[in-house]
Structure 1
Amino acid sequence: MAQIGDMGERRFGRVNWLGLYTLAQREVMRFVAVWTQTLLAPLVTAGLFLSIFTLAIGSQRGDVMGVPFLHFLAPGILMMTVMQNAFANTSSSLVISKVQGNIVDTLMPPLSPLEIVAGYIAGGVLRGLFVAFAIGLILILALGIGIAHPLWALVFVFLGATFLAALGVLAGIYANKFDQMAAITNFIVTPLSFLSGTFYSIERLPPVMQAISHANPIFYMIDGLRYGVIGQSDSSPYLGLAVGIGACAAMIFLCWALIKSGTRLKP
Protein backbone atom coordinates (compact mmCIF):
# COMPACT_ATOMS: atom_id res chain seq x y z
CA MET A 1 0.00 0.00 0.00
CA ALA A 2 1.30 3.42 -0.90
CA GLN A 3 2.00 5.68 2.03
CA ILE A 4 -1.02 7.72 3.00
CA GLY A 5 -0.66 11.33 2.01
CA ASP A 6 2.21 10.52 -0.40
CA MET A 7 0.94 12.04 -3.65
CA GLY A 8 4.30 12.31 -5.38
CA GLU A 9 6.23 15.56 -5.63
CA ARG A 10 4.81 18.24 -3.39
CA ARG A 11 4.40 21.43 -5.36
CA PHE A 12 3.42 23.66 -2.46
CA GLY A 13 6.51 23.55 -0.28
CA ARG A 14 7.60 21.31 2.55
CA VAL A 15 4.34 21.89 4.45
CA ASN A 16 0.88 22.01 2.91
CA TRP A 17 -0.25 24.92 5.07
CA LEU A 18 -3.55 25.37 3.23
CA GLY A 19 -4.43 21.69 3.57
CA LEU A 20 -3.40 21.63 7.23
CA TYR A 21 -5.43 24.75 7.97
CA THR A 22 -8.45 23.33 6.15
CA LEU A 23 -8.35 20.07 8.11
CA ALA A 24 -7.92 21.91 11.41
CA GLN A 25 -10.74 24.30 10.50
CA ARG A 26 -13.02 21.34 9.73
CA GLU A 27 -12.26 19.82 13.14
CA VAL A 28 -12.96 23.12 14.89
CA MET A 29 -16.22 23.66 13.01
CA ARG A 30 -17.34 20.16 14.02
CA PHE A 31 -17.50 21.08 17.70
CA VAL A 32 -18.52 24.72 17.20
CA ALA A 33 -21.59 23.62 15.20
CA VAL A 34 -22.88 21.65 18.21
CA TRP A 35 -21.53 23.95 20.92
CA THR A 36 -24.26 23.05 23.40
CA GLN A 37 -22.92 19.49 23.48
CA THR A 38 -19.21 20.17 23.11
CA LEU A 39 -18.70 23.42 25.04
CA LEU A 40 -21.73 24.05 27.25
CA ALA A 41 -22.17 20.48 28.50
CA PRO A 42 -18.60 20.27 29.92
CA LEU A 43 -19.19 23.48 31.85
CA VAL A 44 -22.34 22.02 33.38
CA THR A 45 -20.51 18.79 34.26
CA ALA A 46 -17.63 20.65 35.91
CA GLY A 47 -20.11 22.80 37.81
CA LEU A 48 -21.94 19.69 39.04
CA PHE A 49 -18.67 18.15 40.28
CA LEU A 50 -17.82 21.29 42.24
CA SER A 51 -21.35 21.61 43.60
CA ILE A 52 -21.46 18.00 44.76
CA PHE A 53 -18.11 18.21 46.50
CA THR A 54 -19.07 21.53 48.07
CA LEU A 55 -22.33 20.18 49.46
CA ALA A 56 -20.95 16.79 50.48
CA ILE A 57 -17.56 17.48 52.06
CA GLY A 58 -16.49 21.02 51.22
CA SER A 59 -17.25 22.49 54.63
CA GLN A 60 -15.96 19.44 56.55
CA ARG A 61 -12.63 18.98 54.81
CA GLY A 62 -9.62 20.91 56.04
CA ASP A 63 -7.04 22.63 53.91
CA VAL A 64 -5.02 20.62 51.38
CA MET A 65 -1.52 21.80 50.50
CA GLY A 66 -2.26 24.93 52.51
CA VAL A 67 -5.30 25.99 50.47
CA PRO A 68 -9.06 25.35 50.85
CA PHE A 69 -10.17 21.96 49.56
CA LEU A 70 -12.24 23.43 46.71
CA HIS A 71 -9.29 25.50 45.54
CA PHE A 72 -7.20 22.32 45.53
CA LEU A 73 -9.94 20.42 43.68
CA ALA A 74 -10.71 22.99 40.98
CA PRO A 75 -7.54 22.55 38.83
CA GLY A 76 -8.01 18.78 38.78
CA ILE A 77 -11.59 19.07 37.57
CA LEU A 78 -10.57 21.67 34.99
CA MET A 79 -7.80 19.47 33.58
CA MET A 80 -9.97 16.35 33.62
CA THR A 81 -12.66 18.16 31.63
CA VAL A 82 -10.13 19.57 29.17
CA MET A 83 -8.56 16.17 28.52
CA GLN A 84 -11.86 14.35 28.13
CA ASN A 85 -13.02 16.88 25.55
CA ALA A 86 -9.76 16.85 23.62
CA PHE A 87 -9.91 13.05 23.47
CA ALA A 88 -13.57 13.03 22.43
CA ASN A 89 -12.99 15.50 19.60
CA THR A 90 -10.31 13.55 17.76
CA SER A 91 -11.55 10.03 18.50
CA SER A 92 -15.16 10.74 17.51
CA SER A 93 -14.09 12.47 14.29
CA LEU A 94 -12.08 9.47 13.13
CA VAL A 95 -14.61 6.85 14.18
CA ILE A 96 -17.52 8.71 12.56
CA SER A 97 -15.51 9.02 9.33
CA LYS A 98 -14.73 5.30 9.38
CA VAL A 99 -18.31 4.28 10.15
CA GLN A 100 -19.72 6.55 7.44
CA GLY A 101 -17.05 5.41 4.98
CA ASN A 102 -15.72 8.89 4.17
CA ILE A 103 -12.33 8.55 5.87
CA VAL A 104 -10.89 8.44 2.36
CA ASP A 105 -11.80 12.13 1.98
CA THR A 106 -9.17 12.87 4.62
CA LEU A 107 -6.57 10.37 3.45
CA MET A 108 -6.59 11.12 -0.30
CA PRO A 109 -5.73 14.86 -0.35
CA PRO A 110 -2.03 15.78 -0.59
CA LEU A 111 -1.45 15.79 3.15
CA SER A 112 1.50 14.05 4.75
CA PRO A 113 0.86 11.71 7.71
CA LEU A 114 2.26 14.32 10.10
CA GLU A 115 -0.01 17.00 8.65
CA ILE A 116 -3.05 14.74 9.13
CA VAL A 117 -2.06 14.10 12.74
CA ALA A 118 -1.44 17.82 13.33
CA GLY A 119 -4.80 18.79 11.83
CA TYR A 120 -6.76 16.40 14.02
CA ILE A 121 -4.81 17.31 17.15
CA ALA A 122 -5.26 21.04 16.48
CA GLY A 123 -9.03 20.61 16.61
CA GLY A 124 -8.86 18.67 19.87
CA VAL A 125 -6.46 21.13 21.48
CA LEU A 126 -8.57 24.15 20.54
CA ARG A 127 -11.68 22.51 21.97
CA GLY A 128 -9.76 21.81 25.17
CA LEU A 129 -8.51 25.39 25.36
CA PHE A 130 -12.00 26.81 24.86
CA VAL A 131 -13.30 24.62 27.67
CA ALA A 132 -10.35 25.54 29.91
CA PHE A 133 -10.87 29.26 29.38
CA ALA A 134 -14.60 29.04 30.15
CA ILE A 135 -14.16 26.91 33.28
CA GLY A 136 -11.21 28.98 34.45
CA LEU A 137 -13.25 32.16 34.15
CA ILE A 138 -16.04 30.59 36.20
CA LEU A 139 -13.57 29.45 38.88
CA ILE A 140 -12.06 32.91 39.15
CA LEU A 141 -15.42 34.67 39.36
CA ALA A 142 -17.37 32.12 41.43
CA LEU A 143 -14.71 30.77 43.80
CA GLY A 144 -12.34 33.71 43.81
CA ILE A 145 -9.42 31.50 42.79
CA GLY A 146 -6.36 33.39 41.59
CA ILE A 147 -3.80 32.06 39.13
CA ALA A 148 -0.44 31.79 40.87
CA HIS A 149 1.61 31.08 37.73
CA PRO A 150 -0.45 31.82 34.56
CA LEU A 151 2.25 30.69 32.10
CA TRP A 152 2.71 27.34 33.85
CA ALA A 153 -1.05 26.84 33.91
CA LEU A 154 -1.36 27.56 30.17
CA VAL A 155 1.55 25.26 29.30
CA PHE A 156 0.12 22.31 31.22
CA VAL A 157 -3.38 22.82 29.82
CA PHE A 158 -1.85 22.78 26.34
CA LEU A 159 0.20 19.65 27.09
CA GLY A 160 -2.79 17.87 28.62
CA ALA A 161 -5.02 18.69 25.65
CA THR A 162 -2.30 17.67 23.18
CA PHE A 163 -1.64 14.34 24.90
CA LEU A 164 -5.30 13.35 25.06
CA ALA A 165 -6.01 14.62 21.54
CA ALA A 166 -3.18 12.42 20.27
CA LEU A 167 -4.48 9.52 22.35
CA GLY A 168 -7.87 10.15 20.74
CA VAL A 169 -6.29 9.87 17.28
CA LEU A 170 -4.71 6.59 18.33
CA ALA A 171 -8.02 5.29 19.69
CA GLY A 172 -9.85 6.43 16.56
CA ILE A 173 -7.39 4.55 14.39
CA TYR A 174 -7.92 1.28 16.26
CA ALA A 175 -11.68 1.54 16.87
CA ASN A 176 -13.92 0.63 13.96
CA LYS A 177 -17.20 0.84 15.88
CA PHE A 178 -18.68 3.07 18.54
CA ASP A 179 -18.80 0.27 21.11
CA GLN A 180 -15.05 -0.24 20.71
CA MET A 181 -14.53 3.47 21.31
CA ALA A 182 -16.77 3.33 24.36
CA ALA A 183 -14.67 0.48 25.75
CA ILE A 184 -11.45 2.48 25.29
CA THR A 185 -13.03 5.48 26.99
CA ASN A 186 -14.47 3.52 29.92
CA PHE A 187 -11.54 1.22 30.62
CA ILE A 188 -8.52 3.35 29.71
CA VAL A 189 -9.18 7.08 29.50
CA THR A 190 -11.56 7.48 32.45
CA PRO A 191 -9.44 5.45 34.93
CA LEU A 192 -6.27 7.26 33.85
CA SER A 193 -7.87 10.66 34.46
CA PHE A 194 -9.68 9.77 37.71
CA LEU A 195 -6.75 7.89 39.28
CA SER A 196 -4.18 10.62 38.71
CA GLY A 197 -4.68 13.01 41.60
CA THR A 198 -7.74 14.74 40.21
CA PHE A 199 -9.59 14.66 43.54
CA TYR A 200 -6.78 14.03 46.01
CA SER A 201 -3.10 14.45 46.75
CA ILE A 202 -1.18 11.28 45.97
CA GLU A 203 0.79 11.78 49.20
CA ARG A 204 -2.22 10.23 50.94
CA LEU A 205 -1.87 7.00 48.94
CA PRO A 206 0.08 3.87 49.95
CA PRO A 207 3.60 3.64 48.48
CA VAL A 208 2.55 1.14 45.81
CA MET A 209 -0.27 3.37 44.58
CA GLN A 210 2.05 6.38 44.64
CA ALA A 211 4.47 4.52 42.38
CA ILE A 212 1.65 3.65 39.99
CA SER A 213 0.48 7.26 39.95
CA HIS A 214 4.00 8.47 39.14
CA ALA A 215 3.97 6.19 36.09
CA ASN A 216 0.85 7.92 34.77
CA PRO A 217 1.72 10.94 32.58
CA ILE A 218 -1.70 12.46 33.21
CA PHE A 219 -0.77 12.82 36.88
CA TYR A 220 2.06 15.20 35.97
CA MET A 221 -0.23 17.33 33.81
CA ILE A 222 -2.89 17.64 36.50
CA ASP A 223 -0.21 18.25 39.12
CA GLY A 224 1.45 20.84 36.88
CA LEU A 225 -1.81 22.71 36.36
CA ARG A 226 -2.40 22.63 40.11
CA TYR A 227 1.00 24.27 40.55
CA GLY A 228 0.08 26.90 37.98
CA VAL A 229 -3.21 27.69 39.73
CA ILE A 230 -2.52 27.40 43.48
CA GLY A 231 1.30 27.39 43.48
CA GLN A 232 1.52 23.95 45.17
CA SER A 233 2.10 20.48 43.71
CA ASP A 234 3.09 16.92 44.61
CA SER A 235 6.09 16.90 42.25
CA SER A 236 8.39 19.38 40.57
CA PRO A 237 6.73 21.30 37.73
CA TYR A 238 9.94 20.95 35.74
CA LEU A 239 9.70 17.17 36.00
CA GLY A 240 6.06 17.43 34.95
CA LEU A 241 7.05 19.60 31.99
CA ALA A 242 9.65 17.06 30.85
CA VAL A 243 7.25 14.13 31.23
CA GLY A 244 4.45 16.02 29.47
CA ILE A 245 6.61 16.97 26.48
CA GLY A 246 8.03 13.44 26.24
CA ALA A 247 4.57 11.82 26.48
CA CYS A 248 3.14 14.12 23.82
CA ALA A 249 6.08 13.52 21.48
CA ALA A 250 5.84 9.74 21.90
CA MET A 251 2.08 9.72 21.28
CA ILE A 252 2.36 11.96 18.19
CA PHE A 253 5.13 9.74 16.80
CA LEU A 254 2.98 6.64 17.30
CA CYS A 255 0.01 8.28 15.54
CA TRP A 256 2.29 9.36 12.69
CA ALA A 257 3.68 5.84 12.28
CA LEU A 258 0.20 4.25 12.20
CA ILE A 259 -1.20 6.74 9.69
CA LYS A 260 1.92 6.47 7.54
CA SER A 261 1.50 2.68 7.38
CA GLY A 262 -2.27 2.89 6.88
CA THR A 263 -2.98 0.62 9.86
CA ARG A 264 -6.74 0.01 10.25
CA LEU A 265 -7.50 2.91 7.93
CA LYS A 266 -8.08 1.05 4.69
CA PRO A 267 -11.68 1.28 3.43
Structure 2
Amino acid sequence: MPTDAAATRPSPQDQGVRRFGRVNWLGTATLVEREVRRFMAVWTQTLLAPIVTAGLFLMIFTIAVGERRGEVMGVSFLHFLAPGLLMMTVIQNSFANVSSSISSAKVQGNIVDTLMPPLSAGELLTGYLAGGIARGVIVSVAIALAIFPTIGLGVANPLMALVWVVLGGAFLGALGIMAGIFANKFDQVAAITNFIITPLSFLSGTFYSLDTMPPVLAAISHANPVFYLIDGLRSSVLGVSDSSPWLGFVIVLTATALVCAGAWWMFRTGYRLKP
Protein backbone atom coordinates (compact mmCIF):
# COMPACT_ATOMS: atom_id res chain seq x y z
CA MET A 1 0.00 0.00 0.00
CA PRO A 2 1.27 3.53 -0.72
CA THR A 3 2.58 5.46 2.20
CA ASP A 4 1.08 8.75 3.36
CA ALA A 5 4.03 10.60 1.83
CA ALA A 6 3.51 8.91 -1.53
CA ALA A 7 -0.21 9.57 -1.40
CA THR A 8 0.31 13.28 -0.80
CA ARG A 9 3.11 13.67 -3.37
CA PRO A 10 1.86 15.88 -6.25
CA SER A 11 1.54 14.29 -9.65
CA PRO A 12 3.81 15.43 -12.50
CA GLN A 13 0.85 17.31 -13.98
CA ASP A 14 0.25 19.11 -10.68
CA GLN A 15 3.95 19.95 -10.46
CA GLY A 16 3.80 21.44 -13.93
CA VAL A 17 0.78 23.56 -13.03
CA ARG A 18 2.43 24.68 -9.80
CA ARG A 19 5.66 25.54 -11.59
CA PHE A 20 4.31 27.26 -14.70
CA GLY A 21 0.72 28.19 -13.95
CA ARG A 22 -1.37 28.03 -17.12
CA VAL A 23 1.55 29.13 -19.33
CA ASN A 24 4.75 27.21 -19.96
CA TRP A 25 6.98 30.22 -19.35
CA LEU A 26 10.19 28.22 -19.35
CA GLY A 27 9.40 26.49 -22.63
CA THR A 28 8.32 29.73 -24.31
CA ALA A 29 11.43 31.57 -23.09
CA THR A 30 13.61 28.70 -24.36
CA LEU A 31 12.01 28.91 -27.79
CA VAL A 32 12.55 32.68 -27.86
CA GLU A 33 16.19 32.24 -26.83
CA ARG A 34 16.70 29.63 -29.55
CA GLU A 35 15.27 31.94 -32.21
CA VAL A 36 17.41 34.88 -31.07
CA ARG A 37 20.55 32.76 -30.88
CA ARG A 38 19.82 31.44 -34.37
CA PHE A 39 20.03 34.83 -36.08
CA MET A 40 22.72 36.21 -33.78
CA ALA A 41 25.01 33.30 -34.71
CA VAL A 42 25.15 34.66 -38.28
CA TRP A 43 24.97 38.37 -37.42
CA THR A 44 26.94 39.45 -40.48
CA GLN A 45 24.16 38.06 -42.66
CA THR A 46 21.14 38.90 -40.50
CA LEU A 47 22.17 42.25 -38.96
CA LEU A 48 25.12 43.77 -40.81
CA ALA A 49 23.88 43.04 -44.34
CA PRO A 50 20.55 44.93 -43.90
CA ILE A 51 22.43 48.00 -42.64
CA VAL A 52 24.71 47.94 -45.68
CA THR A 53 21.75 47.44 -48.02
CA ALA A 54 19.82 50.37 -46.52
CA GLY A 55 22.92 52.55 -46.76
CA LEU A 56 23.39 51.61 -50.42
CA PHE A 57 19.77 52.46 -51.20
CA LEU A 58 20.21 55.90 -49.67
CA MET A 59 23.49 56.49 -51.47
CA ILE A 60 22.13 55.41 -54.85
CA PHE A 61 19.03 57.57 -54.55
CA THR A 62 21.15 60.51 -53.42
CA ILE A 63 23.44 60.15 -56.44
CA ALA A 64 20.67 59.39 -58.96
CA VAL A 65 18.09 61.90 -57.75
CA GLY A 66 19.87 64.24 -55.35
CA GLU A 67 18.57 67.77 -55.06
CA ARG A 68 16.61 67.50 -58.33
CA ARG A 69 13.81 65.68 -56.54
CA GLY A 70 13.21 68.62 -54.24
CA GLU A 71 11.17 68.38 -51.08
CA VAL A 72 8.51 65.76 -50.43
CA MET A 73 5.78 66.67 -47.93
CA GLY A 74 7.91 69.57 -46.74
CA VAL A 75 11.08 67.56 -46.03
CA SER A 76 14.09 66.66 -48.15
CA PHE A 77 13.75 63.55 -50.29
CA LEU A 78 16.61 61.86 -48.44
CA HIS A 79 14.91 62.37 -45.07
CA PHE A 80 11.57 61.27 -46.56
CA LEU A 81 13.17 58.07 -47.84
CA ALA A 82 15.02 57.01 -44.67
CA PRO A 83 12.05 55.94 -42.46
CA GLY A 84 10.50 53.98 -45.34
CA LEU A 85 13.74 52.11 -45.94
CA LEU A 86 14.05 51.39 -42.24
CA MET A 87 10.55 49.89 -42.02
CA MET A 88 11.01 47.97 -45.27
CA THR A 89 14.17 46.42 -43.82
CA VAL A 90 12.38 45.57 -40.56
CA ILE A 91 9.47 43.77 -42.21
CA GLN A 92 11.67 41.85 -44.64
CA ASN A 93 13.96 40.65 -41.85
CA SER A 94 11.12 39.74 -39.49
CA PHE A 95 9.43 37.72 -42.22
CA ALA A 96 12.66 36.02 -43.28
CA ASN A 97 13.63 35.13 -39.71
CA VAL A 98 10.43 33.24 -38.91
CA SER A 99 9.70 31.72 -42.31
CA SER A 100 13.24 30.39 -42.72
CA SER A 101 13.28 28.96 -39.20
CA ILE A 102 10.06 26.96 -39.65
CA SER A 103 10.61 25.93 -43.28
CA SER A 104 14.19 24.81 -42.57
CA ALA A 105 13.00 22.70 -39.64
CA LYS A 106 10.32 21.10 -41.84
CA VAL A 107 12.66 20.36 -44.74
CA GLN A 108 15.38 18.99 -42.46
CA GLY A 109 12.84 16.89 -40.56
CA ASN A 110 13.55 18.31 -37.08
CA ILE A 111 10.31 20.32 -36.68
CA VAL A 112 9.28 17.50 -34.33
CA ASP A 113 11.83 18.83 -31.81
CA THR A 114 9.69 21.97 -31.54
CA LEU A 115 6.31 20.26 -31.64
CA MET A 116 7.00 17.54 -29.04
CA PRO A 117 7.69 19.76 -25.98
CA PRO A 118 4.60 20.77 -23.96
CA LEU A 119 4.04 24.05 -25.79
CA SER A 120 0.56 25.20 -26.75
CA ALA A 121 -0.29 26.84 -30.07
CA GLY A 122 -0.25 30.24 -28.39
CA GLU A 123 3.15 29.60 -26.84
CA LEU A 124 4.61 28.48 -30.17
CA LEU A 125 3.15 31.58 -31.80
CA THR A 126 4.61 33.81 -29.08
CA GLY A 127 8.06 32.21 -29.27
CA TYR A 128 8.43 32.51 -33.02
CA LEU A 129 6.92 36.01 -33.12
CA ALA A 130 9.29 37.22 -30.41
CA GLY A 131 12.27 36.03 -32.45
CA GLY A 132 11.06 37.86 -35.56
CA ILE A 133 10.28 41.04 -33.62
CA ALA A 134 13.66 40.94 -31.86
CA ARG A 135 15.50 40.76 -35.18
CA GLY A 136 13.41 43.60 -36.60
CA VAL A 137 13.98 45.83 -33.56
CA ILE A 138 17.74 45.18 -33.48
CA VAL A 139 18.05 45.91 -37.20
CA SER A 140 16.00 49.11 -36.88
CA VAL A 141 18.07 50.41 -33.96
CA ALA A 142 21.29 49.59 -35.79
CA ILE A 143 20.13 51.43 -38.93
CA ALA A 144 18.93 54.43 -36.92
CA LEU A 145 22.25 54.67 -35.08
CA ALA A 146 24.42 54.09 -38.14
CA ILE A 147 22.59 56.05 -40.84
CA PHE A 148 20.29 58.67 -39.32
CA PRO A 149 23.12 60.76 -37.77
CA THR A 150 25.04 60.56 -41.05
CA ILE A 151 22.21 62.23 -42.97
CA GLY A 152 21.35 64.62 -40.14
CA LEU A 153 18.01 63.01 -39.30
CA GLY A 154 16.53 62.84 -35.80
CA VAL A 155 13.45 61.03 -34.47
CA ALA A 156 10.49 63.21 -33.50
CA ASN A 157 8.77 60.59 -31.33
CA PRO A 158 11.09 57.66 -30.42
CA LEU A 159 8.47 55.78 -28.37
CA MET A 160 5.90 55.74 -31.18
CA ALA A 161 8.64 54.83 -33.65
CA LEU A 162 9.43 51.78 -31.51
CA VAL A 163 5.72 50.87 -31.39
CA TRP A 164 5.51 50.94 -35.20
CA VAL A 165 8.66 48.83 -35.52
CA VAL A 166 7.25 46.22 -33.11
CA LEU A 167 3.93 46.21 -35.00
CA GLY A 168 5.77 45.75 -38.28
CA GLY A 169 7.77 42.87 -36.86
CA ALA A 170 4.65 41.23 -35.44
CA PHE A 171 2.61 41.56 -38.65
CA LEU A 172 5.30 40.22 -40.97
CA GLY A 173 6.45 37.71 -38.35
CA ALA A 174 2.96 36.19 -38.27
CA LEU A 175 2.90 36.13 -42.07
CA GLY A 176 6.29 34.43 -41.91
CA ILE A 177 4.87 31.75 -39.62
CA MET A 178 2.04 31.07 -42.06
CA ALA A 179 4.44 31.00 -45.02
CA GLY A 180 6.88 28.70 -43.23
CA ILE A 181 4.13 26.27 -42.25
CA PHE A 182 2.53 26.33 -45.70
CA ALA A 183 5.80 25.78 -47.60
CA ASN A 184 7.15 22.26 -47.97
CA LYS A 185 10.18 23.37 -50.00
CA PHE A 186 12.56 26.32 -49.86
CA ASP A 187 11.51 27.56 -53.29
CA GLN A 188 7.93 27.92 -52.06
CA VAL A 189 9.12 30.35 -49.37
CA ALA A 190 11.16 32.18 -52.01
CA ALA A 191 8.06 32.43 -54.22
CA ILE A 192 6.01 33.93 -51.37
CA THR A 193 8.81 36.40 -50.67
CA ASN A 194 9.23 37.42 -54.31
CA PHE A 195 5.57 37.63 -55.33
CA ILE A 196 3.88 38.77 -52.11
CA ILE A 197 6.23 40.29 -49.53
CA THR A 198 8.48 42.23 -51.91
CA PRO A 199 5.58 43.87 -53.83
CA LEU A 200 3.85 44.72 -50.54
CA SER A 201 6.98 46.46 -49.25
CA PHE A 202 7.99 48.24 -52.47
CA LEU A 203 4.49 49.38 -53.47
CA SER A 204 3.70 50.96 -50.13
CA GLY A 205 4.98 54.52 -50.28
CA THR A 206 8.57 53.71 -49.39
CA PHE A 207 10.01 55.75 -52.26
CA TYR A 208 7.16 58.16 -53.00
CA SER A 209 4.19 60.03 -51.56
CA LEU A 210 0.73 58.82 -52.54
CA ASP A 211 -0.08 62.37 -53.63
CA THR A 212 2.07 61.78 -56.72
CA MET A 213 0.24 58.60 -57.75
CA PRO A 214 -2.85 58.17 -59.96
CA PRO A 215 -6.07 57.83 -57.92
CA VAL A 216 -6.49 54.14 -58.74
CA LEU A 217 -2.98 53.21 -57.60
CA ALA A 218 -3.33 55.41 -54.52
CA ALA A 219 -6.55 53.58 -53.59
CA ILE A 220 -4.81 50.22 -54.01
CA SER A 221 -1.94 51.39 -51.80
CA HIS A 222 -4.43 52.39 -49.09
CA ALA A 223 -5.54 48.75 -48.98
CA ASN A 224 -1.98 47.65 -48.21
CA PRO A 225 -1.27 47.33 -44.45
CA VAL A 226 2.44 47.82 -45.10
CA PHE A 227 1.67 51.34 -46.36
CA TYR A 228 0.30 52.24 -42.93
CA LEU A 229 3.37 50.75 -41.24
CA ILE A 230 5.70 52.90 -43.33
CA ASP A 231 3.46 55.96 -43.07
CA GLY A 232 3.16 55.54 -39.29
CA LEU A 233 6.92 55.26 -38.81
CA ARG A 234 7.45 58.24 -41.09
CA SER A 235 5.02 60.22 -38.95
CA SER A 236 6.92 59.26 -35.79
CA VAL A 237 10.31 60.15 -37.29
CA LEU A 238 9.49 63.22 -39.38
CA GLY A 239 6.14 64.41 -38.05
CA VAL A 240 4.54 64.21 -41.54
CA SER A 241 2.37 61.49 -43.08
CA ASP A 242 0.10 60.68 -46.03
CA SER A 243 -2.77 59.53 -43.81
CA SER A 244 -3.94 59.62 -40.21
CA PRO A 245 -1.47 57.71 -38.01
CA TRP A 246 -4.32 56.66 -35.70
CA LEU A 247 -6.32 55.22 -38.60
CA GLY A 248 -3.20 53.38 -39.71
CA PHE A 249 -2.62 52.09 -36.19
CA VAL A 250 -6.13 50.60 -36.04
CA ILE A 251 -5.80 49.04 -39.50
CA VAL A 252 -2.37 47.52 -38.77
CA LEU A 253 -3.46 46.27 -35.35
CA THR A 254 -6.52 44.61 -36.89
CA ALA A 255 -4.50 43.06 -39.73
CA THR A 256 -1.90 41.79 -37.25
CA ALA A 257 -4.59 40.22 -35.04
CA LEU A 258 -6.14 38.46 -38.06
CA VAL A 259 -2.80 37.10 -39.30
CA CYS A 260 -1.83 35.98 -35.78
CA ALA A 261 -5.17 34.17 -35.50
CA GLY A 262 -4.42 32.37 -38.77
CA ALA A 263 -0.94 31.38 -37.56
CA TRP A 264 -2.39 30.20 -34.23
CA TRP A 265 -4.94 28.06 -36.09
CA MET A 266 -2.17 26.43 -38.11
CA PHE A 267 -0.28 25.51 -34.94
CA ARG A 268 -3.48 24.43 -33.19
CA THR A 269 -4.58 22.07 -35.96
CA GLY A 270 -1.11 20.93 -37.01
CA TYR A 271 -1.77 22.09 -40.58
CA ARG A 272 1.12 20.87 -42.74
CA LEU A 273 3.10 20.19 -39.59
CA LYS A 274 1.90 16.75 -38.57
CA PRO A 275 1.63 13.72 -40.85
Q: Report which stretch shifted further, 183-192 or 8-17.
A: 8-17
Q: 1:193 aligns with which of 201, 207, 211?
A: 201
The answer as to whether partners of 2:55 and 2:147 remain within 8 angstroms in 1 is no
Secondary structure of 2:208's aligned partner: coil
Q: Report which stretch shifted further, 147-156 or 183-192.
A: 147-156
Q: Which runs of 5+ in 2 are unaligned?
A: 1-12
Equivalent in the alignment of 1:75: 83
Q: 1:263 aligns with which of 240, 259, 271?
A: 271
The answer as to whether partners of 2:94 and 2:172 remain within 8 angstroms in 1 is yes
Q: 1:58 aligns with which of 66, 70, 94?
A: 66
Deviation at 1:126, TM superposition (A): 0.2
Equivalent in the alignment of 1:245: 253
Deviation at 1:140, TM superposition (A): 2.6
Q: Which has the higher contact order (CA 8 A, sep 6+)?
A: 1
The letter for the 1-side match of 2:207 is F
- Distance in 2, Cα, partners of 1:151 & 1:137: 15
Map Cα deviations across residues 215-249 of structure 1 (whole Å, 9 max, x no partner). 10010000000000100000011011111111111
The answer as to whether partners of 2:128 and 2:177 remain within 8 angstroms in 1 is yes
TM-score (norm 2): 0.93
- Distance in 2, Cα, partners of 1:189 & 1:58: 28
The letter for the 2-side match of 1:126 is A
Map Cα deviations across residues 3-45 of structure 1 (whole Å, 9 max, x no partner). xxxxx88633111110000000000000000000000000111
- Distance in 2, Cα, partners of 1:190 & 1:124: 17
1:130-209 equivalent positions in 2, closer than 5 A: 130-209=138-217
Q: 2:113 aligns with which of 100, 105, 110?
A: 105
Equivalent in the alignment of 2:241: 233
Give the percent of matched residue pairs that are identical in Structure 1 and Structure 2.
65
Secondary structure of 2:68's aligned partner: coil
- Distance in 2, Cα, partners of 1:139 & 1:40: 13
The letter for the 2-side match of 1:96 is S
The letter for the 2-side match of 1:20 is T
Secondary structure of 1:165's aligned partner: helix
Deviation at 1:139, TM superposition (A): 2.8
Larger radius of gyration: 2
Deviation at 1:59, TM superposition (A): 2.1
RMSD, aligned α-carbons: 1.1
Q: Report which stretch shifted further, 182-191 or 55-64.
A: 55-64
Deviation at 1:149, TM superposition (A): 1.6
Equivalent in the alignment of 2:226: 218
The letter for the 2-side match of 1:66 is G
Equivalent in the alignment of 2:6: none
Q: Which runs of 5+ in 1 are unaligned?
A: 1-7
The answer as to whether partners of 1:152 and 1:227 remain within 8 angstroms in 2 is no
Detail structure 1 runs of 4+ shifted over 4 Å in the superposition: none
Secondary structure of 1:146's aligned partner: coil
